[in-house]
Amino acid sequence: MPAKKKNTELPDENSLKTDRAKLRRLAEEALKAAPRDNLSGIFSAEEALRESELRNRTILQTVMEGFWLVDLQGRLKEVNDAYCKMSGYSEQELLAMNISELEASEGSEEIAAQIQAVIAQGKVQFERKHRRKDGSIFDVEISVQFQGELEGLIFAFLQDVTVSKQSLDSLRQSEEKYRSLVESTDNSIYLVGEDCEYLFMNLKHRERLGLSPSQVHGTTYGAYHSKQETDAFRERVKIIFETGRPLSYEYQSERDGNYFVRTLSPVMDHEKVKAVSVISKDVTDEKKAEDLIRNFSQQLLQAQERERQMISCELHDRIAQELSAVKIGFDTLFDGDPVISQEVRSKSKNLSNIIEIAINSVRDLSYELRPFGPDEIDIVNALKMYTEDFSESSEITTDFQSVGMQGLTLGSESKTHLYRLVQEGLNNIRKHAHASMASVKIVGALPNIILNIEDNGIGFDLKERERKLDDEKRLGLRSMRERVELLRGEMRIASRLGKGTKIFIKFPFKEKPGDAEKAYINR
């Protein structure tokens, strides 16, 4: 005979009704109606009842949920092991208690009201706080059913939900914290879908667009920005959806002219991009501060150039002229006087030669300080002449090339900065590189001008050199970097020991047609 399959299902209300009431009444009626000498039916009913009770008790004792059987006064009539473990009480202790004694908050009046609600509704589910035997409190979710036919008993299943409630509370607190941060930040934060429709926006962005929370749904980016801005933004959102990688960029809003740094990041769901989060930081004040610093630095350089010009004029127009007069005086000092000895004449000639050397040095220094006036000479010719003079004076063979500069009329500031960059670069080569060859190449590639300076010298450790730049005075590479920053350009250096040095500089081209400067910004 095959073994009977063990029933592990929880009893429903019909099963309880049959097993706990109907069979009991059946046994009682059989006992009253049956003759005294015919007890087999009674014994069969009692055995069925006993077997059913044993089966149900076994099931209730093995389930993970707690179980109560409670009368209408709140007295516990039956509990299972699961609730004993939850509460820390033994079965005997619990069967001697009222459920109000397990409550952690409400008193007996509240419990009585709950029992009446169960009687009225028949089936109720709610959450309560219970107190364990050791005094600790835990949360339970209670599912309660009442059937009047079951001798006025209420049965309930209880589940310890302390951990899940704590997790939910923690999640809710975390959500509230981050929502508070998102809503209180000075940055615009919003979510957009693939079609650039707004899915969410924080208070800052709503204020920027003049929207209430209820107006966000169904609003698109294009409704508040120009077609050009919308197309550019839509293209970047498309890149995020395709690549799943974040990107950042700076832009100027056409709405108010403010500058923003925008960071777009993918919002993933099962490795698929579902939306794009945008953090937009207003950097207008920072840009204005940078412009003030840049303008101040530019004014300092302009003042320096004016000072150089003044010193150059002083050297050329006064000191050099005065030295020239002294030289002429020495050269003609003994004319017409035959009695002066040859030795005296030789000394006079030597002094004249020294003065001539001094005159040439003063004129060279004057030229270094002010190689050209703002509109006196073409920058390409000026640099060509300078590299030729540098090659002769330094004995470093210097090659100069220019490409794409024809027809470009640079503003005086750009012209001066470009000349000084070449000058400082070649002076660095003369002082430090121990090179035999150098090259200077200028390329006009709108909207930029590119400058390359190379040498075949000893080179240097780039990382070590970069570390020491902050300790240097306003000379050399540091001075070059500052000039490039003023030009809103970039500068890169490549160098290896024994392999020479390469300096790459790129900056936006500024043209001066007439009196107004026009900037070609690299977009």
Question: Cα separation of 448 and 403, whole Å?
Answer: 12
**What is the DSSP code (8-state) at residue 224?**
S
Question: Residue 206: how many CB atoms within 10 A of its CB?
Answer: 19
Contact 278, 190 (CB under 8 A): yes
Question: Cα separation of 180 and 169, whole Å?
Answer: 16
Q: Which CATH superfamily is domain 376-523 in?
A: Histidine kinase-like ATPase, C-terminal domain (3.30.565.10)
Peptide linkage before 447 cis (omega within 30 of 0)? yes
pLDDT for 470 = 54
Alpha-carbon torsion 96, 98, 100, 102, what sign? positive
pLDDT along the chain (523 residues), means of 10: 42 49 48 46 53 57 76 86 91 90 71 72 80 90 71 81 77 75 85 92 88 85 88 93 92 83 91 92 84 75 74 76 82 78 84 86 76 65 89 91 85 83 90 92 89 92 66 65 86 90 88 41 32
pLDDT for 450 = 93
| Inter-CA distances, 249 with 12, 21, 280, 282, 489, Å | 64, 76, 10, 12, 17
| Inter-CA distances, 153 with 72, 87, 122, 448, Å | 6, 22, 11, 90
Which CATH fold topology does 13-161 show?
A: Beta-Lactamase (3.30.450)
| Inter-CA distances, 371 with 141, 404, 468, 482, Å | 90, 23, 31, 21
Q: Which CATH number is 185-282 given?
A: 3.30.450.20
Nearest CA among 304, 50, 160 for reference residue 296: 304
Estimate the crossing angle of helix 342-369 against helix 320-331, to 10 degrees. 160
CA 102 to chain centre: 51
Sheet containing 76-79: give its strands across: 76-79, 66-71, 153-160, 137-147, 123-131
Classify 339 as helix, strand or coil: coil
Burial of 240 (0-12, 13-18, 19+ CB in 10 A): buried
Q: Which long-range contacts (CB under 8 A, 24 or more apart) does 298-304 make?
A: 298/413, 298/486, 301/417, 301/483, 301/486, 302/413
Q: Please list the residues that pair with 522 across neighbouring strands.
A: none
Nearest CA among 129, 150, 18 for reference residue 71: 150
Question: Cα separation of 496 and 500, whole Å?
Answer: 6
pLDDT for 506 = 92
Question: Residue 502: how many CB atoms within 10 A of its CB?
Answer: 16
pLDDT for 42 = 43
Buried b (16+ CB within 10 A) or exposed e, 350-364: eebeebeeebeebbe
Estimate the crossing angle of helix 40-62 against helix 23-33, to 10 degrees. 160
Question: Residue 366: how many CB atoms within 10 A of its CB?
Answer: 21
pLDDT for 439 = 95
Same fold, 13-161 and 185-282: yes
Question: Cα separation of 293 and 287, whole Å?
Answer: 10
Contacts of 101 (CB under 8 A, 6+ apart): none
Contact 517, 509 (CB under 8 A): no
Buried b (16+ CB within 10 A) or exposed e, 150-166: beebbbbbbbbeeeebe
User: What value, to the nearest 5°, has the Cα angle with vertex 444 and ends 443 and 445?
Assistant: 105
All structural domains of the chain with their residue ranges: 13-161, 185-282, 284-370, 376-523
User: What value, to the nearest 5°, has the Cα angle with vertex 33 and ends 32 and 36?
Assistant: 80
| Inter-CA distances, 200 with 139, 181, 267, Å | 35, 15, 13
Residue matched to tokens 């790459």 = 504
Estimate the crossing angle of helix 476-486 against helix 412-428, to 10 degrees. 160
Nearest CA among 295, 224, 287 for reference residue 254: 224
